[in-house]
Every structure is written in structure tokens, then in C-alpha cells.
Chains A and B, each alone.
Chain A
Amino acid sequence: MKEIYLDNNATTKVDEAVFEEMRPYFCELYGNPSSMHFFGGQVQSKVNEARGRVAELLGASPDEIIFTACGTESDNAAIRSALEVFPDRRHIITSRVEHPAVLTQCRNLRQKGYRVTEIGVDGAGRLDLEELKTAIDDDTAIVSLMWANNETGVIFPVEEAAKIAKSKGALFHSDAVQAIGKIPINMAASHIDMLSLSGHKLHAPKGIGVLYLRKGTPFRPLLVGGHQEKSRRAGTENAAAIIALGKACQLAGQHMEAENTVVKAMRDRLQDALMSAIPHARINGGGAERLPNTTSIAFEFVEGEAILLLLSEFGICASSGSACTSGSLEPSHVLRAMGVPFTCAHGSIRFSLSRYTTEAEIDTVIRELPPIIARLRQMSPFGREHLQGKA
């Protein structure tokens, strides 16, 4: 069965050109970029080229790019660093809908005595900037807010938030893992101090991330014990993956326009068709500015895991904000923070497209999903009076 892969916010296919770019750096050009000999040196120059390509996509300068192992490491490093450079500041601000890479860390820090404020969102998943203005004070070491939400695609006003953070002398970090490569970003004109990026979300392999660190921002490394990345991240460079990420960023820049036109049009067609074919459904974050590739739709009276497994029978890969898929028992913290009613939080499905998505694949989903929802609703003890004659 050929897969119809609409789960690109989870991970993406490695672009063939990206794979070709990294391929020689395993068995042939395997030198350590830090070595003095020519054999390491030629890897070093490719790593530098990659650093330049990443910087270009971000509108940054190459020495502001620190390669890490993943987005989670970048998030951890940013927050830890801020607390170390401001030992007298004991307050952290984040949002209730952050990725666990940020949220879990903040909650662990709360256990260690830090004050943590989690800013809320409205029903459409939009950040409450007024709440941020009220929460921030001279004790705030860092404000960490995601650029775009992984589940709903809702985009946060991070530039505005960064200005508010700077006004109190706090550092501002953004987990931009879902945004990079999907919407244009220009750090040269930004107030953001630190930014996290993950390779496997933009057609590079897993196991490579970036922490953008604005020039002049005080920093303490998470990993020590080597001079790599100007002693800001010790550990032998994952040269092949770095080179792959460089290529992936170059390609992302080239595809940016298509992402916001072609991909977005397919996303819109998908959600419009599903919304008109299926009663008692709602788009999570539909009223907010969103990433062009993401849509999260809540179907009342049915449960997400059952939907996903029936979709999977047709090769369709999506994901769910439902409890049952994750092994946790409550629906996603993002949907709950948005106040999505329990009646449909359990039945939320996320489709996330990419430049590889085809119109024919979208057609298949539009054809197969409505009968799946109808079938599960037929089986459900709920909503019968609402749905009579409809689904």
C-alpha cells in the first residue's frame, strides 16, 4: 500500500537531493572537521557552507548558528542558559500550548523553585499578549514562546512578544521548529534572542537541530567538554547531518513561495471539502493566522485513534490530539488550553501537508474520511439526536 503522508508536522521525508548531499560524508569523507589534516579540513569547509545556508534561510549571520542534536536540545539549552546568565532572576514565562520540550522543562524548573507563568490562549489558539505584559517583571529571566503551534499551526505574534520581553531586560526564545521552512523568517530585523530549529521537520534527517543565538547574547552551554561550535555546544559535529540540513534549508528557501501558495491551496481545499461533507465538525484554530500546511479538525462524538486507524487502512497517515493515541489519557494540552469542548477534543485529527503532497492524495482523503466518521458515529452511543439524517 502506498502511503499518503499527511503527518509532516511529526516528521518529513528526507529530500533526495538532501540525502545525496550528505551521502559521501559517511564512508568516504568521514574525517573529523576539527582535525588539522586536509581530510578533516574538507569536511570543515562543507560544514561552514552548511552553516551559511542555514543562516541565509533565517536571515542570520553564520556565527549565530549553533548546531545541536535536535529541537528539544535547542529548547533546553536556551532556557537553561538564560537562567545561568541571570542567576538573580527567578521567573520564566511560557505558554500553555508549548511543545513538551519547553513545557516539561519549565514545569521541572518550577519544582526546583523557579516561578513559572504559563500564558493562556483564546478559543482560536491566539496568544494573549496583555497577559504577557501583566506577567512580566524585573525578575523574569526568559520568555519562551513558540513561533507556530505543532497541533493547530496557529502562529504567535513572537516579534511583539519579544519586544515586551526586551522592555524588562529578559531574554526571548522561540521554539520555531514548526515555522522554519514554512513561513519566511528574518532574524536580521528581529528582537528575538534565541530560536530553535529541527532538521527533520524540513526534509533533513532526524538527529540534527539548530540553536540560533543572536550576536552579543550572553550564553552558557548545556554541553561542555569540547571547543566545537565555538565552545557553545561541545561534541563532535554530526557533519553529515549538518551538511544535509544546509541543503534542506537552501531548498526550503526555494520552495517557500510554493509552500504558501500551492501547499496552502491544497490544505484549504482539504479542510473546506471535509467541513462541508461532515456535520458537527470544527477547525481548531480556524479563526487565527495559521501555518499554510496544517489543519486540525475536531469531529464530535467520535474518538481520534479509531479515525486514524481506519484512515490507515487506506494508507492515509495523519495524527490526532486524542488521548488514546499518545498513551496519555487526556486529550492534548493544546486543545484543552483552547477550551475545545471535551465532546470533540477526543475526535481531533491533524493533517499536515508538505511540498510532496499531491492533489490526488487530497482527493483520496476527501473521499474516504466522511464515510469513516459516519461509520464511527453509527457505532457511538452519543450524538444520535444531533446527527439523525445527516451523517
Chain B
Amino acid sequence: MWDYTPIVKDHFLNPRNVGEIPNADAIGEVGSLACGDALKLYLKLDDNKDKIVDAKFQTFGCASAIASSSALTEMVKGKTLDEALAVSNQDIADFLGGLPEEKMHCSVMGQEALEVAIFKYRGIEMPQHDSEHDHGPAYPDYEGEIVCKCFGITDAFLKKVIETNSLTTAEQVTNFTKAGGACGGCIPKIKDLIAQVLGEAAAQTRVRPEKLSNMKKMQLIQEVLERDIRPLLWADGGDLELIDIDGAKVQVAFRKACAGCASSGNTARMVEAKLRDLVAEDIVVEEVSA
């Protein structure tokens, strides 16, 4: 049995704002019968067309999907459209006192319906993609190329969720979006996307210092390993540990999936290149089996 919080249970058993708004200003629809959950969100705006005065929902899905929809409608009432757009899926989960990680995709569905409703109302283009997925896209208003064919989930959507929730493993991505949760065929692609997002984040801070004291260099090496390198390895189920720094020589040991991996030599070279790039040109990485 899922470990739902009392707030989730309350919003499931006594959902707020169920139903339709006949002349709604904005409607957001995500999910499908085939996917196993779907949400249709209705928003009514005030006379200035700025503030949300009423919100209602119709949801097909599990207890946490219903609770997330109910929470969402309660959260956005009284907010301006801009304030509503700032609501994240984590905010929905927090409002409910937390969701089991496997159910985070329910909060993502809520946030997405909200975004789709507001973007559509504002006439912001969310072009439909064209693809041959199995049973319809879960987020039809999100552009990009379909990555997960089973659930119809695009790369653009996945990158957004990976980024906003700082996800580092394919399993987390599945929990948050369902992508990869059925046939699993797209998991390598999901790992690539994680690496891309992490790489982009790292690239933004890429400045190699001119001259470094030994102490500063050691600090920076540790920082780069933590911030830029280990997350990349985590995405593939691997890890590394810093064993020693002796001048320009950096000794690391590979852990988890990286330990004993045939391509750990390549991984060591990748680590070296990254450290040379971000710390100092003369760095040599040595793999030790400590």
C-alpha cells in the first residue's frame, strides 16, 4: 500500500473543486485514458482577466492524481496568472505534505495542465509534434521529439522536468514523468538527456582560473568532481571517489556501475579532460582500486 500523507488522503476522499466551468476562460488538458491518468483543468478569470477567481478539475487516475488536481485548484484560486505560472510540481507535492517518489508524475501532470491552460489562454504557441507513438501523447501541447513512445513524452518536456527538479537518474525521471516506465526502451535516451541537462548546467560556470595556490587547486578539484562529474556518472548508475591529490596527480576510484566497467578507462579520460578544462591544464587522473 502506498504511504500517502493524511493531506493526500483527505484530498482524495474529499476532493475540492470537482467539475466543469461552463464558460471557462482557460482550459488545460493533459494525459489520456491509455496513459492511465488524465486531467482537465478549468480556470475562470476576474473582469480584468488577470486573477484566477475559480478553478475546477476532472481527473481520471489514481488517488494521488485526484489529490494533486484538488490541491492544484485550491492553490491557484486567487492568484494572478503570473503567480500561478510560478507554481511548480514540487509546490503541489509540498502542499500535500509530500508524495511517494513513484507518484511524483501526478504533481507534474497538475503543473503541466496549469501551464497549458495559461499558455493557451495567452495564445502562446505550443506546436503539436508529429510522431508515431503507441497511444497518444501525454502532453500534446509540449513541443519536441517523442522520447518515450509508450507514454508519448517529448525531449523538451523531459529536459524541463529534469532541470526544474534537479533529477540525476533515469529512475527518478520515470517517477516524475512515467517516461521509461513501460517497455524501458527509451532509458538510454533519458540518460543522455540527463547528461545534456547536467552538462549545460556545468557549462554555464566554465571559467578556468589563471593561477592557483595548491590549497585552492585541491578545493577546486573537489568542487568540479562534486558538481560537474559525479552527477554525470550517477546518471549511468555509477560513481567515483576522490582518493588523493598529489600536486597535479588526481587519484580516483570508480564505484557502483563504474567499478570494473570495461570502459572505466574512457571514463577516467573524461574526468581528466573535465578537470584540465576547469582546473588546470597539467592535471593527470589516475584510476586506483582502493
- Which residue of chain A has the shortest Cβ distance to B60 in the bound complex? A380
- Which residue in A322, A330, A380 is a CB contact (below 8 Å) of B181? A330
Complex contacts, A343 vs chain B, CB 8 Å: 33-34
- Which residue in A303, A325, A327 is a CB contact (below 8 Å) of B61? A303
Cβ of A329 and Cβ of B62 under 8 Å apart?
no
Q: Which of B29, B59, B61, B174 has the most CB of A within 10 A?
A: B61
Complex CA–CA separation, A346 to B134 (angstroms): 16
Cβ of B181 and Cβ of A328 under 8 Å apart?
yes
- Which residue in A310, A313, A327, A346 is a CB contact (below 8 Å) of B33? A346
A331 on the B face (CB < 8 A): yes
CB of B255, distance to nearest CB on chain A (Å): 24
Complex contacts, A305 vs chain B, CB 8 Å: 2, 62-63
Interface hit among B10-18, B72-80, B267-275, B277-285: B10-18
B58 on the A face (CB < 8 A): yes
- Which residue in B29, B102, B150 is a CB contact (below 8 Å) of A330? B150
Cβ of B181 and Cβ of A303 under 8 Å apart?
no
- Which residue in A324, A331, A378 is a CB contact (below 8 Å) of B62? A324
CB of A202, distance to nearest CB on chain B (Å): 24
CB of B77, distance to nearest CB on chain A (Å): 19
User: Quick one: which of B35-61 are within 8 Å of A by CB?
Assistant: 36-40, 58-61
User: Quick one: which of A366-388 are within 8 Å of B by CB?
Assistant: 378-382
Cβ of B33 and Cβ of A342 under 8 Å apart?
yes
Cβ of A380 and Cβ of B58 under 8 Å apart?
yes
B66 on the A face (CB < 8 A): yes
- Contact A303 to B39, CB < 8 A, known contacts A330-B182, A346-B33: no
CB of A381, distance to nearest CB on chain B (Å): 4
- Which residue in A301, A303, A324, A329 is a CB contact (below 8 Å) of B182? A329
A109 on the B face (CB < 8 A): no
CB of A343, distance to nearest CB on chain B (Å): 5
- Which residue in A302, A324, A346, A378 is a CB contact (below 8 Å) of B18? A378
Complex CA–CA separation, A346 to B62 (angstroms): 10
Cβ of A342 and Cβ of B135 under 8 Å apart?
yes
Cβ of B36 and Cβ of A346 under 8 Å apart?
yes
- Which residue in B33, B58, B63 is a CB contact (below 8 Å) of A306? B63
CB of A302, distance to nearest CB on chain B (Å): 7
Complex contacts, B63 vs chain A, CB 8 Å: 305-306, 309
A323 on the B face (CB < 8 A): yes
- Contact A324 to B15, CB < 8 A, known contacts A306-B62, A381-B29, A381-B60: no
How many chain B residues touch A (Cβ–Cβ < 8 Å)? 30
- Which residue in A310, A323, A329, A381 is a CB contact (below 8 Å) of B39? A381
Cβ of B181 and Cβ of A379 under 8 Å apart?
no
- Which residue of chain A has the shortest Cβ distance to B150 in the bound complex? A330
- Contact A324 to B36, CB < 8 A, known contacts A330-B150, A379-B58, A379-B59: yes
Cβ of B60 and Cβ of A301 under 8 Å apart?
yes
Complex CA–CA separation, A306 to B59 (angstroms): 11
Mark B101-125 against chain A: 1 for CB-CB distance below 8 A, else 0. 0110000000000000000000000
Complex contacts, A306 vs chain B, CB 8 Å: 12, 61-63, 66
Complex contacts, A381 vs chain B, CB 8 Å: 29, 38-40, 58-60
- Contact A382 to B60, CB < 8 A, known contacts A324-B36, A331-B36: yes
Complex CA–CA separation, A303 to B38 (angstroms): 10
Cβ of B37 and Cβ of A303 under 8 Å apart?
yes
B151 on the A face (CB < 8 A): yes
Complex CA–CA separation, A310 to B182 (angstroms): 26
Complex contacts, A323 vs chain B, CB 8 Å: 36
Complex contacts, B34 vs chain A, CB 8 Å: 342-343
Complex contacts, B65 vs chain A, CB 8 Å: 303, 324
Complex CA–CA separation, A378 to B60 (angstroms): 10
Complex contacts, B18 vs chain A, CB 8 Å: 378-379
- Which residue in A302, A327, A328, A330 is a CB contact (below 8 Å) of B60? A302
CB of A386, distance to nearest CB on chain B (Å): 12
Complex CA–CA separation, A343 to B33 (angstroms): 6
CB of B5, distance to nearest CB on chain A (Å): 14
B178 on the A face (CB < 8 A): yes
- Which residue of chain A has the shortest Cβ distance to B59 in the bound complex? A379
- Which residue of chain B has the shortest Cβ distance to A301 in the bound complex? B60
CB of B54, distance to nearest CB on chain A (Å): 17
- Contact A382 to B102, CB < 8 A, known contacts A303-B60, A330-B181: no
Complex contacts, A330 vs chain B, CB 8 Å: 36, 150, 181-182
Complex contacts, B151 vs chain A, CB 8 Å: 329
- Which residue of chain B has the shortest Cβ distance to A302 in the bound complex? B60
CB of B97, distance to nearest CB on chain A (Å): 17
Complex contacts, B15 vs chain A, CB 8 Å: 379
Complex contacts, B40 vs chain A, CB 8 Å: 381
CB of B112, distance to nearest CB on chain A (Å): 15
Cβ of A327 and Cβ of B58 under 8 Å apart?
no
Mark B145-160 against chain A: 1 for CB-CB distance below 8 A, else 0. 0000011000000000
User: Quick one: which of A267-322 are within 8 Å of B by CB?
Assistant: 301-306, 309-310, 313, 322
Extra A-B contacts (4), CB below 8 Å, given A309-B63, A346-B33? A328-B181, A329-B151, A342-B135, A379-B66
Q: Which 9 pairs of residues, A with B, have the shortest CB-CB distance?
A: A329-B181, A324-B62, A305-B62, A381-B58, A342-B34, A381-B40, A380-B60, A330-B182, A346-B36
Complex A-B: 16 CB contacts under 8 Å: A301-B60, A303-B36, A303-B60, A305-B62, A306-B66, A310-B13, A323-B36, A324-B62, A324-B65, A324-B103, A327-B102, A329-B36, A330-B36, A331-B36, A342-B33, A380-B59
B: residues with CB less than 8 A from A are: 2, 12-13, 15, 18, 29, 33-34, 36-40, 58-63, 65-66, 102-103, 135, 150-151, 174, 178, 181-182
A: residues with CB less than 8 A from B are: 301-306, 309-310, 313, 322-325, 327-331, 342-343, 346, 378-382
